[in-house]
Amino acid sequence: MPVCRSNPVRKSPAALAGAAALLATGGGLGLAAQAPGSAPDAPVPHLAALAPEPWLLPRWTLFPFAQGDSDPSESAAMGETPSAPILSMAPHSESGRYWVSGQANSIFQMHGHFHSPYEGTNSLRDIFEYKASEVATLYLGYQLRPNSRYNTDLIVDFENAGGRGISQALGLAGQTNLDVVRNPNLSTAPYLARGEIHQIIGLTGEMTEQDRGPLALATQVPVRRFEIRVGKMTLPDTFDINSVGSDSHLQFTNWTIDNNGAWDYAADTRGYTVGGILEYDDRVWSARYGIAAMPIIANGIALDWAFSRANGQNWEFELRKGLLAHFVNKERQGAVRVLSYVNHAHMGDYRESVEEFLDGETATPEITATERFGTVKYGFGLNTEQEVTESLRLFGRFGWDEDQHESFAYTEVGQTVLFGGDYSGRQWSRPNDKLGIALVSNAIKRDHQNYLHYGGLGFLLGDGGLTYAREDELEWYYTAHLWRGMFGALGGTFIAHPGYNAARGPVYVQTARVHIDF
């Protein structure tokens, strides 16, 4: 899904020429939700942690200084005032009540033939194929009570998503393009991505600096505060944020690297939902709770508005101290986040579907035949990051869900383990370049394995059979800052056992990306 949290939908490289026109009418990010036989959506971009530490910044300020400007640390050493970074095509006001910005992201991917003795309806295809995706977003905001203890932001974002993913974004649990809209039959016309009220309730008069961005307009906030968000949103804007791995625009592009693959978060097929989030922030820790509408059907675009029978509830605790704090310089920043969720929806049961098939009631296991209201799915996640040196940062995720009940809104993962990092280009005089590498290993439980083994179809997977193995993926990228808000990137993903099938693969997917911030 378009991730972040809402995830941007990508456009083909040719479409970047018209990005400015798209932004005038609305452009977008897209999240993922899924339906059998449909191509998946991308994960959504995340709202970065609001901690004052400079390295824990929102993705729109991910790189601390602009190419061509002096390194702030070097300027400070010479007694100079560091120049402000210019990482957009035009600077944004730090004092105005209005916020207007935009982005355009285009991803091109291709792969060749690979070992594949058979394939099914939802398989990664054994052909030479190439696909391009695009996402454009227009961010609009207005502060009712700027930089006060009771700051209020009105946020309205429009988005446009187009293009396709390889194999229509089917055949992989860890899809290689987070910006892909999971249902290729959806209109490419601009749509409302976010429409939310962001309210701060300060519990102290002591204020701290905050970097301004499209989802948080205040430049000063109370040290201790409640934050409330209500409206249309994407949950990865607030939950499961990681400054090393949460942004398909400038970092990794894999669904299960930019988000926790075992977190089946509430979202429509574009990755958005309607709900509310309550968050408490203190000096070094935060706690948050969110409740949001679930889709009516798996990977569906329509949401179930009856919260009494269908909803996704999410809890997260964040400690802004790293797991490796005692082993590295104590001044190096880090964070640990513990996530849990419970979904109530009209979901099916993999175990019951297999039993009905074995009893001869269905020709193949059919998850929709066992769907009923009141079904519960739950899971947990761990998310950590650690600054090791001025240039090197490490991160990791672990996720688990019970995986007996239907994967409904994000991807088909029952367990995920992730480790990776990024390295700044400071050492070769490219301070705003980044080199990243990450390894993720995804798995599903026995009930889900049996369902696919006997020929069942999920909203992403279904080779017509399954010789089970973990789906292991290694992704790398190099993002180069070209000029102001323009970035280019090259990368690739090596995939062992696509779709958890040891009989197929490995396959290597090559990636090229162009990103512009306005």
Please tell me the predicted confidence (pLDDT) of residue 183: 75
CA–CA distance, 288 with 52 (Å, rounded to integer): 18
For the segment 388-422, what is each residue's pLDDT rounded down to a tens digit?
999 999 999 999 999 999 999 999 999 999 999 99
For the segment 238-254, what is each residue's pLDDT rounded down to a tens digit?
999 999 999 999 999 99
The pTM for the full model equals: 0.85
For the segment 247-302, what is each residue's pLDDT rounded down to a tens digit?
999 999 999 999 999 999 999 999 999 999 999 999 999 999 999 999 999 989 99
Beta-strand runs (E) in 112-257: 129-143, 152-163, 191-202, 207-209, 220-222, 225-233
Position 85 confidence tier, pLDDT thresholds 50, 70, 90: low
User: May I ask the CATH class of domain 13-517?
Assistant: mainly beta
Q: Comparing 110-119, 236-245, 314-323, 326-335, which segment has the lowest mean pLDDT?
A: 326-335
Q: What average pLDDT does the segment 224-232 reach?
A: 98
Please tell me the predicted confidence (pLDDT) of residue 422: 98
Extents of the domains making up the chain:
13-517
Residue type, 340: S
Please tell me the predicted confidence (pLDDT) of residue 53: 38
Q: Comparing 179-183, 223-227, 232-236, which segment has the lowest mean pLDDT?
A: 179-183
Indicate whether 317 pLDDT > 70.
yes
Please tell me the predicted confidence (pLDDT) of residue 326: 64
Indicate whether 343 pLDDT > 90.
yes
Rounded to 5 degrees, φ, ψ at 106 are -130, 130
Most confident of 17-21, 151-155, 180-184: 151-155
Helix H or strand E segment including 432: strand 430-443
Task: Assign 153 to helix, strand or coil.
Answer: strand
Residue type, 515: H
Long-range contact pairs involving 349-355 (C-beta distance under 8 Å, separation at least 24) = 349/375, 349/404, 349/405, 349/406, 349/447, 350/403, 350/404, 350/405, 350/406, 350/447, 350/448, 350/450, 350/451, 350/456, 351/404, 351/447, 351/450, 353/451, 353/456, 354/447, 354/450, 354/451, 354/454, 354/456
